[in-house]
C-alpha cells in the first residue's frame, strides 16, 4: 500500500534490506497454498445423515450423493480458476499481511477484484458486524455509458470545459444495510449514476471486507507486520549503518606528506609496477579502523534477521546450522511454524474461504451451470487451514498410539488387537486422501493370507506330504478362489 499523498511524480524510498519483502512474499505464498491448495478441493460438502434418510429413505443413497457432490466441488474449483481468483487471492493476502485490510469483489461474471485500504472505508457495529462500505474508483469518462456522461456534464460542477474529457472521474459505490437487505448505488461528482441502484441478499453479498487480526471495537483489522515492526525498523537501521560503513571502509585514499621527498604529481601518475623516487614513510593510507563496530552491528542484524525468518516462515529458519539435521527434525519445526498461524487461519476461514465458496456457488447457480442445493441438507465445510492442522494432530496421535501399543504388547500380540485396514483408512483420512480402490478389503487380504499359507505348506511338505494329506489342501485352495474373485 503506498503512503499518503503518493502520486505519479512521487518516488518510493529504497530500503537497505530485502528480508521484509522476501518474508511477506513467502508468508503470503504459504497462506495461499494452505487456504487454496492447487488441484485439491479446499472444502467438502457436509451431508446431514438424518435429513438424507428422511428425504430418500435409502441408507445406500449416501454414496451416490457424495459422488455427485464431489463433482460439484470440482465444478466450483474450475469456476474459480476460470475467474482467475488465485492471483487476486495472492494480492489480497499480501495486503492483509502489510495493511491488515483488503476488499474483495466477486461479481456474477468476469474476474474478481481487490481494493486497497486507501480505496474504501467500512463501518461496523460494536460486535464487528458490517454496516456500510464506500468504495472509491478512478474511471475514464469515455468508459461511462452515454446517459451517465450526459447527466454528469449537465449537472456536475466543473465537469465540462477545456480538458474535462481527458480527466478521470471518481466513482463512489456505497453499500449499506437496510433492514435485512444490502442496498447499493453509485455516484460521480455528487450525481447518482442512472441504473446503479440495486440490492443484495445477505448470502449474495459480493463485497468482502477482509481483516487479518480483529481487535474489539475497531472497524478495521490489524496487520501481521505491525507485531514485528520493531524488528523490521531495527534491521533497516542496522543494515543502513553496515552498508554505509562498509562503503566508507572500502574507500582507498592515499595521503602524501607535503614536506616529504615523494612528488605528489609523480605518485598520482604512477601505475602498478612503476618506480618513483621518495621515502615510503611519506605515504600513508586513510583507514577507518571500525571493523569491531561493524562486526557488532552485523551480529545484531543476523540475530534480528533470524527472528524475522521464524516470524515469516522462511526456510532458513526451519533448518538449523549443522552438518547432521534429520528430516524428522525439519518436519517437526515446520509443523510448529504452521501451528503458529492457527489464529490467522481461524478468521480467514470464516471471513474469506467460506464466503468465497458460497459466492462462486451462487454465481454458477445464477448462470445455470449447477443446480441449487437444499440448505438444510448439504452445507460446505472448509477442510484446509485450521482444519488441516487438526487433521495433522489426529495423525500424530494415531501414530503415537500405535507405537505405544507395539512397544507395550509387542508386535505379535498387538497385531491380534489392531486392524491394519482400519489404521490405513484413518491415516489416509488424516492426510485427506481418498481411499476408494486404493486399500484392499478384509476379504481380499484374508484370501491372500490363506493363499500364501497354503503355498508355504506345499513348499515345506513336498509331493510326498501332499499325497499323505490327501485332497484337503486342494479343497481349501478351491474354497479360497471364490473369496479372491469377490
Pairing of the two strands 169-178 and 207-211? unpaired
pLDDT score for 3: 82
% of the chain beyond a pLDDT of 90: 23
Question: What is the rounded CA–CA span in Å between residue 355 and residue 208?
Answer: 8
CB atoms under 10 Å from CB of 208, counted, come to 20
pTM over 0.85: no
Note the pLDDT tens digit of each residue in 182-210. Answer: 999 999 888 888 888 999 998 889 999 99
Output the CA torsion 454→457→458→460 (10° steps). Answer: 160
DSSP one-letter code for 99: T
Confidence of residue 237 (pLDDT cuts 50, 70, 90): very high
DSSP string of 40-85, one letter each residue: S-SEEEEE-HHHHHHHH--TTHHHHHHHHHHHHHHHHHHHHHHTTH
Using the predicted structure, report yes or no on whether residue 8 has a pLDDT greater than 60. yes
pLDDT score for 9: 80
Any alpha helices (H) in 118-183, and if so which ranges?
A: 146-155
Question: What is the rounded CA–CA span in Å between residue 137 and residue 188?
Answer: 10
Three-state secondary-structure class, residue 364 = helix
Spell out where 130-252 has E strands.
130-139, 169-178, 181-188, 191-192, 198-200, 207-211
Using the predicted structure, report yes or no on whether residue 354 has a pLDDT greater than 70. yes
Work out the widest C-alpha separation in the chain, in whole angstroms.
Answer: 121
Arithmetic mean of pLDDT, 247-257:
86
Note the pLDDT tens digit of each residue in 311-325. Answer: 887 865 555 555 555
Residue of 234 and 399 predicted with greater confidence: 234
Tracing cell 476460470 back to the chain, one arrives at: 82
Using the predicted structure, report yes or no on whether residue 337 has a pLDDT greater than 70. no
What's the order of all strands across the beta sheet hosting 113-115?
Answer: 113-115, 101-105, 207-211
Question: What is the rounded CA–CA span in Å between residue 285 and residue 257?
Answer: 11
Question: What is the rounded CA–CA span in Å between residue 410 and residue 399?
Answer: 15
Q: Among 130-139, 257-266, 468-477, which is the least confidently predicted range? A: 468-477
The grid coordinates listed for 329 are: 527434525
Confidence of residue 232 (pLDDT cuts 50, 70, 90): very high
Using the predicted structure, report yes or no on whether residue 391 has a pLDDT greater than 60. no
Averaged pLDDT of the chain: 78
Sequence-distant contacts of 436-439: CB under 8 A, at least 24 apart: none
Question: What is the rounded CA–CA span in Å between residue 394 and residue 386?
Answer: 13
Q: Among 80-89, 236-245, 281-290, which is the least confidently predicted range? A: 281-290
Distances (CA, A) of 182 to 133, 253, 372: 10, 72, 22
pLDDT score for 183: 95
The grid coordinates listed for 15 are: 530500503
Within 8 A by CB and 6+ apart from 114, the residues are 88, 91, 92, 95, 102, 103, 104, 105
Amino acid at each position: 500500500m503506498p503512503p499518503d499523498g503518493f502520486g505519479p511524480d512521487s518516488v518510493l524510498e529504497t530500503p537497505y534490506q530485502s528480508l521484509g519483502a522476501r518474508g511477506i512474499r513467502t508468508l503470503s505464498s504459504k497462506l495461499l497454498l494452505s487456504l487454496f491448495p492447487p488441484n485439491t478441493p479446499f472444502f467438502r460438502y457436509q451431508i446431514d445423515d438424518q435429513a438424507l434418510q428422511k428425504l430418500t429413505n435409502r441408507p445406500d443413497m449416501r454414496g451416490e450423493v457424495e459422488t455427485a457432490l464431489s463433482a460439484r466441488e470440482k465444478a466450483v474449483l474450475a469456476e474459480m480458476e476460470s475467474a482467475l481468483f488465485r492471483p487476486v487471492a495472492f494480492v489480497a493476502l499480501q495486503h492483509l499481511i502489510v495493511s491488515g485490510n483488503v476488499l474483495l469483489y466477486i461479481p456474477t461474471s468476469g474476474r474478481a477484484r481487490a481494493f486497497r485500504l486507501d480505496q474504501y472505508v467500512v463501518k461496523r457495529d460494536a460486535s464487528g458486524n458490517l454496516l456500510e462500505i464506500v468504495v472509491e474508483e478512478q474511471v475514464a469518462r469515455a468508459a461511462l455509458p452515454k446517459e451517465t456522461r450526459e447527466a454528469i456534464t449537465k449537472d456536475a460542477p466543473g465537469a465540462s470545459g477545456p480538458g474535462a474529457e481527458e480527466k478521470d472521474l471518481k466513482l463512489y459505490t456505497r453499500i449499506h444495510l437496510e433492514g435485512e437487505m444490502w442496498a447499493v448505488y453509485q455516484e460521480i461528482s455528487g450525481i447518482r449514476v442512472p441504473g446503479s441502484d440495486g440490492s443484495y441478499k445477505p448470502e449474495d453479498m459480493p463485497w468482502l471486507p477482509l481483516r487479518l487480526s480483529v481487535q474489539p471495537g475497531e472497524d478495521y483489522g490489524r496487520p501481521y507486520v505491525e507485531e514485528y515492526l520493531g524488528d523490521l525498523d531495527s534491521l533497516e537501521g542496522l543494515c543502513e549503518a553496515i552498508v554505509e560503513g562498509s562503503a566508507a571502509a572500502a574507500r582507498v585514499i592515499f595521503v602524501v606528506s607535503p614536506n616529504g621527498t615523494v612528488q605528489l604529481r609523480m605518485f598520482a601518475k604512477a601505475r602498478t609496477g612503476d618506480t618513483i623516487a621518495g621515502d615510503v614513510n611519506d605515504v600513508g593510507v586513510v583507514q577507518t579502523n571500525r571493523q569491531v563496530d561493524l562486526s557488532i552491528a552485523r551480529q545484531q542484524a543476523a540475530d534480528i534477521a533470524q527472528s524475522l525468518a521464524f516470524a515469516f516462515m522462511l526456510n532458513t529458519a526451519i533448518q538449523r546450522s549443522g552438518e547432521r539435521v534429520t528430516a524428522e527434525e525439519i518436519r517437526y519445526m515446520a509443523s510448529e511454524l504452521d501451528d503458529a498461524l492457527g489464529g490467522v487461519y481461524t478468521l480467514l476461514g470464516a471471513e474469506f474461504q467460506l464466503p468465497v465458496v458460497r459466492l462462486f456457488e451462487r454465481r454458477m447457480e445464477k448462470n445455470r451451470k449447477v443446480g441449487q442445493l437444499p440448505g438444510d441438507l448439504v452445507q460446505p465445510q472448509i477442510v484446509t487451514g485450521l482444519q488441516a492442522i487438526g487433521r495433522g494432530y489426529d495423525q500424530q496421535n494415531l501414530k503415537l498410539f500405535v507405537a505405544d501399543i507395539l512397544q507395550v504388547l509387542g508386535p505379535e500380540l498387538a497385531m491380534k488387537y489392531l486392524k491394519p485396514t482400519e489404521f490405513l483408512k484413518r491415516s489416509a483420512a488424516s492426510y485427506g486422501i481418498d481411499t476408494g480402490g486404493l486399500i484392499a478389503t478384509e476379504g481380499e487380504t484374508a484370501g491372500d493370507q490363506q493363499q500364501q499359507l497354503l503355498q508355504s505348506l506345499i513348499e515345506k511338505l513336498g509331493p510326498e506330504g501332499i499325497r499323505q494329506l490327501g485332497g484337503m489342501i486342494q479343497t481349501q485352495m478351491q474354497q479360497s478362489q471364490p473369496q479372491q474373485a469377490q
